[in-house]
Amino acid sequence: LPGVYVDKVILATNNEKRIERLREKRASENDKNSRGNIMNGPRGYIIQRAAKEFKNGMYVNLGIGIPTLAGNFVPPGVKIELHAENGLMG
Residue 52's φ and ψ, nearest 5 degrees, are: -65, -20
Whether 24 is a known active-site residue: answer no
Task: Round to whole Å and give the CA distance between 45 and 67.
Answer: 12
Q: Annotated catalytic residue: which of 16, 29, 53, 85?
A: 85
Pairing mode, strands 81-84 and 59-62: parallel
Contact, 79 vs 56, CB < 8 A? yes
Q: Which residues are catalytic?
A: 85
